[in-house]
Amino acid sequence: MRTQLLALSFQLLACAQTAQPVAEAPRSLPSVPDDPVPTGVDNPQHEQPAGTVPFGPEVFHERRARLMASMKTGAAVVFSAQRVDWEADERQDSDFFYLTGLADESGAAIVLAPQDEIREWLFLRALNVEPDRVTGYRTLLPSRELEQRVGISHIRRMNLLGGLIASMAYRWHDLHFFGPIVGYDGETPRALEIIGKTSARVPGAHMKDSVGMVWRMRMQKEPRELERITRATDITVAGHLEGMRRVRPGMHEYELKQIIEDGFRKGGARRLAYGSIVGAGPDGCVLHYPNDDRVIADGELVLVDAGAEYDHYATDVTRTFPANGKFSPEQRTIYEVVLHAQKAALAKVRPGVKFQELEDAARKVIADAGYYDYFIHGVGHHVGLDVHDGGYFAVQEVPLAENAVITVEPGIYMPGKRIGVRIEDTVLVTKDGAKILSDKLPREPDEIERVMHGPLREAQGGSR
């Protein structure tokens, strides 16, 4: 009976749009014919539908099952990004990716309904053959083979989404909203928009506040996720070391950036976790310094904030070092204050602690040293599928959990002295405290100087 009611809801929606009388409800959900696409040699991918990455479909099926166990009742819709272009840093929506493993599918959505006979649905946007000839044929055609490859038993086109949501809202009433929270001047999240429109049209339907439900799952990294974050961090450490060893006064910032990023690619990273920041002297005082065209001068500090992405997982590491391989007394004094502040925050890391406690510990060290006004940002954030994983809500409200991955990154920025120092590490939260995943990259000033005066620098003629 529920299947028939669901099918009837689709027909009612279609008839309302076309002003046609309602026919007898079919016995099963209407099938959706594939849009015409080139086949055979014109579209060889057509025979190999895309699957999930970087894990098999069973991983994402289990995640959705855990999420629905938390939901208990009602229904939820999670949208993909409207546009995905990894090279242009237009990334897949991370919640959608976390729950489906579909990295490249844009304009799609999943619907979850723990009480329903059919608990999971995937909706795909229609094919558009002409643009596909330019950007590459999409392989996600609704079929039994695709359903098996993605682990979702019912795949339909997006034009049927509204009818399904209306049907579920009428039967189960609760429509879960997972977030994000945005300000009044921000763009309304698509899930919130569809919940509002559905609630205005379906008697008894209403929004259920489930903000943070998906994030709490994402915060606690699975072993397979930790493997990839660790690999991304190891690649990043190697790239930073290459930059430390090869930096020279007289080099442009962009030359140093290229050295570091080439190191990431050599290590197996296809993409950057974020746009690399390389700032020397006063440029190191700009938190998200956007340029890289200045010549690095002798006697300046160089701040490098750069991270590799591996298999869709990010890391985030910053080091500050002298361009000529030797800290001046003033540079060393400021650097050591930042290092002590980081160590104070790291000592606080454990499950159940909030970021504010870490920040208070770091800020006290910096304030006691007389640099309070020069620490102008927070002490860290979560890391995972996104380099800033989880956003404002997670950082401020959710205590750290075991197997969370965070950064700890105090800094002091003094443009008048042309000195900017930040030390940032990617850290795993364990039951025993902080495990620094990027610990192989030197932090102590003496260690940094030893690395910078190693065989490579000597072979290249030392500092200028």
Active site positions, annotated:
89, 288, 305, 316, 377, 381, 388, 409, 413, 422, 424
Which residue from 238, 243, 270 is spatially nearest to 257, judged by alpha carbons?
243
Lookup: tokens for 13 = 């929606």
Lookup: tokens for 321 = 């070092």
Tell me the C-alpha distance between 296 and 280, whole Å: 6
End-to-end Cα, the chain, rounded Å: 82
| β strands within 25-114, DSSP E | 75-79, 109-112
Residue pair 351/400 in contact by the 8 Å Cβ criterion? yes
Tell me the C-alpha distance between 294 and 271, whole Å: 25
CA angle 197, 202, 207 (to 5 degrees): 60
Question: Which helix (DSSP H) or strand (DSSP E) does residue 6 occupy?
Answer: helix 2-18
Residues in the chain: 464
Query: Residue 93 carries which DSSP code?
Result: P
Q: Which residue has the tokens 């579209």?
A: 43
Q: Which residue has the tokens 């606080």?
A: 348
| β strands within 235-350, DSSP E | 271-272, 277-280, 301-306, 308-309, 317-322
Tell me the C-alpha distance between 278 and 288, whole Å: 9
Tell me the C-alpha distance between 389 and 381, whole Å: 7
Question: Which helix (DSSP H) or strand (DSSP E) does residue 407 occupy?
Answer: strand 405-408
